[in-house]
Structure 1
């Protein structure tokens, strides 16, 4: 079993690589080689099988072909330009998130072996005047460029699967929280920083009110679901190969209450409450009631509580 993770230097890519190294198998077969590819050289991962790390620009077909060699069985397409960055730089967002996705799909097609391709989409495909709750049958109606680019990717994954070029499946990721490390350029970055920084004695700003609801999943559960998602039999996917990954809706207030329940009252006192006009427009379309029933039926799971999200971060990522 030869696996390629595009976006292998990122948070999810690195955690997925380590989980696969520990597991040693995927789809009932022993993993023989794992390739981590990203625009920056991915950190090495210890594993009982060969692990390659290389740079890859998915906007360049030749670079994609180098990263996905003949004999590749499973491709994880995690690489993307995130929400606020894609909104700031329209051309670059489409170059990476649309053209780059097409380059990867064309390379997978050229293999001629119908490789499994796991595509990470986003709940940003929802929004606008589409009635809530958002279900498996809701029509994507993105209100930001990133969401539009991910919706295009879903259509491509479905069509390439229908034509028999790939065994594709796409999962709309909830907002991943609590993310370790430094903030990225996602508009949702504060949804981790208001937990992560206070747990380390640092201040963090929240630009929305306590009653702001959103849809969340921990990094640990996200990785577990990406592994399960690769193992779903093709026939179980039905006619639509893309779906929303399970998560749960929590308000900012509920998140902070969970922080206090896990770590005491001190961290919450480090949160400031200043509006940020540059992300207000993006956040206006993010009050979401999402029902990920199909993925749940197929065995993917959400966190039981936001306290769990915080505990997972403290166990997996918080510096000693």
Structure 2
């Protein structure tokens, strides 16, 4: 789809060197082959083959680097996917770095996007937030009106940025869309510095024949494995990223552009049971246990049950079938990768 009747669109992805950012470009090109991509990150991003993408390695906490994202050969973007940042445990362990990456850099990017509103329609600013914005006493099922009160530095930085995206949208500086992501399983590649990283690791590593450490509970029989989490698959998450750029602005709630993406509730035990069903007892034996109170506290503070009605009403989509289809699909993908 083209926007504003134009034959092509220019899309900037920050955090394009990360896992989600690296596959989002392919999905955007599949959605509109005329898309012009600007890919930026602290590391060199991977460009989709034959895409003509501009790749930029930059420190996004530097104002000059932010300016450079808007002055490439493609000119300023019409859509920005803001995916960069420091993950949850990293932000908790280094407060100052977390604030620079998860808040200060977002404000710089918003201000630069605001400046473009003088010359073009407001940029669609799609900001990836997190369930970490929630905390404290929560209802049994979270809805659109549930107040966000984070209990960690990562969630605090995300919520501060959400408030700016909402305010800049209210003033007409940008056209903001805030996506509060479920925990995404199964993530490929090496473990990230996220408190929820183990939720992928306890599937990914055993399926690759490697030992995984579960930081929740001290054994397979531990009651701590009943810890509930709100999750979604990578495929569904990327599909929802693309959908976010096409939702008419008037469909969002009038007072906020924040929306949690659809997901489903599982537990650590159900993940391990899905691993056993797909790969057998030998794979399950590769999971070891080393309880981490800090990790368990952070993940346990996040809500695990949401009312999907609002995001589904906007046009977003949800996974079906629980953990087993996700684990099976990831196992099949590993098999394909091994053959090439």
Contact 2:102 2:158 in 1 (8 A): yes
Partner of 1:231: 246
Are 2:300 and 1:292 equivalent residues in the alignment? no
Gaps of 5+ in 1: none
Contact 2:31 2:242 in 1 (8 A): no
Partner of 1:210: 225
Partner of 1:41: 44
Partner of 1:149: 157
When residues 124 and 292 of structure 1 are mapped into structure 2, their CA distance, relative to the original with a 3 A threshold, is farther
Corresponding residue to 2:274 among 249, 258, 262: 258
Contact 1:212 1:287 in 2 (8 A): no
Partner of 1:182: 190
In structure 2, distance between residues paired with 1:247 and 1:299: 14
Deviation at 1:62, TM superposition (A): 1.3
Contact 1:212 1:252 in 2 (8 A): yes
- Give the paired residue count: 314
- 1:237-316 aligned within 5 A: 237-239=252-254, 240-286=256-302, 288-304=304-320, 305-316=322-333
In structure 2, distance between residues paired with 1:306 and 1:83: 23
Contact 1:218 1:312 in 2 (8 A): no
Once the two structures are overlaid, the 10-residue window that deviates more, 69-78 or 139-148, is 69-78
- 1:16-165 aligned within 5 A: 16-25=24-33, 30-31=34-35, 33-47=36-50, 49-69=51-71, 70-112=75-117, 113=120, 114-165=122-173
Q: What RMSD over aligned residues (CA atoms) do the two structures have, in Å?
A: 1.6
Contact 1:136 1:293 in 2 (8 A): no
Please identify the structure whose Cα radius of gyration is greater: 2
SS where residue 9 of structure 1 aligns? coil
In structure 2, distance between residues paired with 1:279 and 1:294: 30
Gaps of 5+ in 2: 1-8, 217-223
Deviation at 1:266, TM superposition (A): 2.1
In structure 2, distance between residues paired with 1:175 and 1:15: 17
Partner of 2:208: 200
Residues 144-170 of structure 1, C-alpha deviation per residue, up to 9 Å, x if partnerless?
011011111111111111111111101
Residues 55-112 of structure 1, C-alpha deviation per residue, up to 9 Å, x if partnerless?
1222111101111334311100000111000000111111111111111111111112
When residues 135 and 317 of structure 1 are mapped into structure 2, their CA distance, relative to the original with a 3 A threshold, is farther
Residues 100-137 of structure 1, C-alpha deviation per residue, up to 9 Å, x if partnerless?
11111111111122011100000001111233321111
TM-score normalised over the length of structure 2: 0.88
In structure 2, distance between residues paired with 1:66 and 1:308: 42
Deviation at 1:315, TM superposition (A): 4.2
In structure 2, distance between residues paired with 1:285 and 1:245: 18
